[in-house]
Structure 1
Amino acid sequence: MRNPCRAPDREARFTSLYEATYAELLRFAQRRVHATHAEDVVAESFLAAWRRLDDLPPQRDDARAWLFGIVRGVVLNARRGAERQRALAVRLADVPTSLTADVDADLIARQIDVSRAWQHLSAVYQEALALAVLDELSGPQAAAVLGISPIAFRLRLSRARRALRVRLDYLSRTSSTPGHISERTPSS
């Protein structure tokens, strides 16, 4: 069983570790993620290190390697999150290449409109709609998945539905105008 450090000793140990390794960890992260995300990765890594400070190896080189491992784990988690976001961008319309008599042209047109509108939604709105509609999660369940309160999820879902409706209305207006095709975004 570990003996936790007293608070002042713990803080001094962490501060020393931070000062000795921050620049190296930042360079390490910058080689692995977009430059705009490197500082966030290092900050998240130091937060994890603070929480697990009792696991810090006593030798300086071992402690340094331990921190590099934490940064690597944060980078891999971020990549997995990005992959999940890309996977979430579901394909809503699978339009047949040739229309036959038994295919409902209006249904296909609606699918195409929904697909086009979906592509213009933010990833946050896509995720909220997908959890509620495609994954059929309740508000509290979806909120737990996202790590937010049920009230915050309901608000996000409401905004996502509104954004989708606005985009669908815009597409229906532009497609109903004969000879007029426009890719301008709605002003809302």
Structure 2
Amino acid sequence: MDDDRARFTELYDAYRMRVWAYAASRVGGQAADEVVSETFMVAWRRFAEMPAASLPWLLGVARNVIRDSVRAQTRRDSLAAELRTWTRDAESDVADGVVDRMTMLRALTELSDGDREVLTLVSWHGLSPREAARVVGCSTATLRVRLHRARRRLAAAMSTPAPQRQHRQTTAMEMEW
């Protein structure tokens, strides 16, 4: 095991900057750090499978990490756009229930992805906290805490006038994780 660690450290030292440069050329310097981190995490998990020509393999992993990140961002953007569409659609109705729904949907679009995910898993998809915890990969206790905090932030967003919401969301996201 110590031999693997030493070889991995050598590999990391030899190729970290080249993987970073590749990632930075595709997604910018700030995101490149995360890509490098995830790339070498995959490399450590699959170290025994790594071919002798390590750099092309590492760059392929980095490419996959970037692709997956772009797909995830596209999904988040699509969900936010859909929620905004539902909100606009709800604005045409004046019934109290619809107005409440519109307020809730608008506030939901302003929450972080993590808050939105735990809220929708439990409220819209009908999962128990235990099942939702399995989906997001955390303990049931952690999920319950996240759900409680997300509900508080949703309630706060729903009761805050629209111009003040963006500031509140940023503050909550900075403190959340």
TM-score band, normalised by the shorter chain? 0.7 to 0.9
Task: Find the counterpart in structure 2 of residue 176 from structure 1.
Answer: none
Task: Find the counterpart in structure 1 of residue 41 from structure 2.
Answer: 47
Question: How big is the shift at 1:96?
Answer: 6.4
Task: Find the counterpart in structure 1 of residue 95 from structure 2.
Answer: 105
SS of structure 2 residue aligned to 1:121: coil
Task: Find the counterpart in structure 1 of residue 175 from structure 2.
Answer: none
In 1, Cα distance between equivalents of 2:92 and 2:115: 32
1:133 aligns with 2:127: no
Task: Find the counterpart in structure 2 of residue 179 from structure 1.
Answer: none
Structure number with greater Rg is: 1
Question: How big is the shift at 1:94?
Answer: 5.3
Against the structure 1 CA distance between its residues 96 and 53, is the aligned structure 2 distance closer, same or farther, given a 3 Å change threshold? Answer: closer
Against the structure 1 CA distance between its residues 107 and 52, is the aligned structure 2 distance closer, same or farther, given a 3 Å change threshold? Answer: same
Q: 2:153 aligns with which of 160, 163, 166?
A: 163
Please, what TM-score do these two structures have when normalized by structure 2? 0.80
Judge conservation of contact 2:91–2:99 (CA < 8 Å) in 1.
no
Q: 1:56 aligns with which of 44, 50, 55?
A: 50
- AA aligned to 1:55 is E
- AA aligned to 2:67 is L
Gaps of 5+ in 1: 1-6, 172-181
SS of structure 2 residue aligned to 1:75: helix
Against the structure 1 CA distance between its residues 48 and 116, is the aligned structure 2 distance closer, same or farther, given a 3 Å change threshold? Answer: same
1:65 aligns with 2:56: yes
Percent of aligned pairs sharing the same letter: 33
In 2, Cα distance between equivalents of 1:170 and 1:43: 38
- AA aligned to 1:65 is P
Against the structure 1 CA distance between its residues 63 and 41, is the aligned structure 2 distance closer, same or farther, given a 3 Å change threshold? Answer: same
Question: How big is the shift at 1:165?
Answer: 1.6
Please, what TM-score do these two structures have when normalized by structure 1? 0.76
Question: How big is the shift at 1:85?
Answer: 2.5
Give the length in aligned residue pairs.
Answer: 165
1:79 aligns with 2:70: yes
Higher helix share: 2
